[in-house]
Amino acid sequence: MGLSDDRRLQRALEAWQPNVLNWWGDIGPYGFQQKDVYLRTATSVDAKGWAHFDYVKMPDYRWGIFLADRNPERTIAYGDHKGEAAWQEVPGEYRGILRRLIVTQGDTEPASVEQQRLLGATAPSLYDLRNLFQVNVEEGRHLWAMVYLLHAHFGRDGREEAEGLLERRSGEPDKPRILGAFNEKTPDWLSFFMFTFFTDRDGKYQLASLAESGFDPLARTCRFMLTEEAHHMFVGETGIGRVIDRTLELMQEHDTMYVSAWGGISLPLLQKYMNFHFSVSVDLFGSENSTNAANYYTMGLKGRFDETGQEGGSLTADDTYTVAALAGETIGTSEESALHTLNERLRDDYVADCQKGVDRWNRAIRKAGVDFELKLPHRAFHRDIGQFATVHATPEGKLISADEWRAREHEWLPTEEDEAYVRSLMIAVREPGKYASWIGPPRRGINNKPVDFEYVRLN
């Protein structure tokens, strides 16, 4: 974009660039920084420019700042400002709130790079190693995009917040990242695929609702980030799909459900990892009942998923929405203000989207003639945020006592032994076209390259 139009902004961002490179050097991907990686770089927002493939060393990756094209006719689609022209500058009364929304989103971008920093050492193939680094550089670019908004539109406070984005560290008790799931470890590749399937998908839903923002620069930035987020979720969905392929193959070969003797990941173990990653990811949507969420909507700052495409127009204070709710010893439903339950509605959209991926995995399992179904756990399972944080529930959504939870938790969530087993599988495979014992090959390569292409040049 035309940064030269604004000299001061350009200088501020130039001054900021060494900080982000230092951060990347300190806590970004460990090793491989001087290797050629076959990366996709966006050079512009149009169909031609957004996917340029070539070998790049990660520190030389071009962290461009892209905003989807401006629609000069765009108006705000909902809330108190419905019908007004979208804002090109931050409205004074919403400055603090908008800054907070941007910082909270922005904080997740460097956090995931930090979480994933050691994974390069144990990549199951060169293809996967390349995908990891693609995700990492794009999260770095997303950080840049949020920093740009802070610098361009929020003056001194924005600059300070941008520094804060580089000061917090995933998982560090005295300066943690803002949101819980972004302080969890991503210690192995199964967790990485789960993270990109479940947690990057939270990113998709948050970005999509911010892409409906009345603050046009934010909306346009998020719209472009969504194109990259889709690739991260592809890495997760196909990664888990390939684990399943390999598991099914081992099951058939050895005629057993439990394939760990042959270096595979049994389906029940996969289910436990799903339970964990799904539950920490649904927490990211916040409380079922939220005045903040209602305010963001009425202020025109954050819409529903696909707000502009919703039939029935925008929400009003009279609209209601049905949400899951605690009712004594069971979980029932309750009819609530649609505005106050926007978090839950976004969570519903998210869960439905996750389910589609799970359905595709289950189709592969059925096709292999195996009688096993992967299931998303109930939303009350293993929650830390919202009404269900106060109770214990099974993955089926049955409320149980704290004692029963403690006695049975190991059936539903990965135990230390499970994690140690998965860690034991994490042996790097670096010959083009070869894969670790626990994962199958991809169906196709990147950018029409063959699957045994040298996606990272190690020499």
Q: Which residues are near Fe ion by CB under 5 A? A: 109, 139, 142, 200, 203, 229, 232
- DSSP code of 197? I
Residue 426: partners with Cβ closer than 8 Å, 6 or more residues away? 122, 124, 188, 189, 436
Closest to Fe ion by CB, 106 vs 264, is: 106
* Residue 443 CB-density burial (10 A; 0-12 exposed, 13-18 middle, 19+ buried): exposed
> Which residue is it, tokens 């400002």?
81
CB of 43 to Fe ion, least distance (A): 19
CB of 16 to Fe ion, least distance (A): 18
* Residue 372 CB-density burial (10 A; 0-12 exposed, 13-18 middle, 19+ buried): middle
CA angle, corner 421, sides to 268 and 270, nearest 5? 25
> Which residue is it, tokens 């000061």?
167
Closest to Fe ion by CB, 62 vs 434, is: 62
Can you tell me the distance from the alpha carbon of 138 to that of 64, in angstroms, rounded to the nearest whole number?
10
312: left (phi over 0), alpha (psi -120 to 50) or beta: left
Give the sign of the dihedral formed by CA 340, CA 375, CA 225, CA 137: positive
Closest to Fe ion by CB, 232 vs 302, is: 232
> Which residue is it, tokens 């590749």?
189
CB of 423 to Fe ion, least distance (A): 24
Can you tell me the distance from the alpha carbon of 29 to that of 58, in angstroms, rounded to the nearest whole number?
9
Closest to Fe ion by CB, 90 vs 225, is: 225
CB of 313 to Fe ion, least distance (A): 30
Closest to Fe ion by CB, 78 vs 189, is: 189
Q: Position 293: which residue type?
A: A
CB of 232 to Fe ion, least distance (A): 4
- Closest residue by Cα to residue 143 from 195, 103, 97: 103
Closest to Fe ion by CB, 151 vs 204, is: 204
Under 8 Å between Cβ of 456 and 119:
no
> Which residue is it, tokens 């969420």?
293
CB of 407 to Fe ion, least distance (A): 37
Closest to Fe ion by CB, 76 vs 233, is: 233
Closest to Fe ion by CB, 112 vs 290, is: 112
Closest to Fe ion by CB, 109 vs 288, is: 109
CB of 230 to Fe ion, least distance (A): 9
CB of 117 to Fe ion, least distance (A): 15
CB of 150 to Fe ion, least distance (A): 16
Can you tell me the distance from the alpha carbon of 67 to that of 65, in angstroms, rounded to the nearest whole number?
7
Under 8 Å between Cβ of 55 and 36:
yes
CB of 112 to Fe ion, least distance (A): 6
Residue 446 tokens read as: 């990147």
Residue 224 tokens read as: 């472009």
CB of 152 to Fe ion, least distance (A): 19
Residue 10 phi/psi, 5-degree rounding, is -60, -45
Closest to Fe ion by CB, 146 vs 422, is: 146
Closest to Fe ion by CB, 109 vs 161, is: 109
* Residue 327 CB-density burial (10 A; 0-12 exposed, 13-18 middle, 19+ buried): exposed
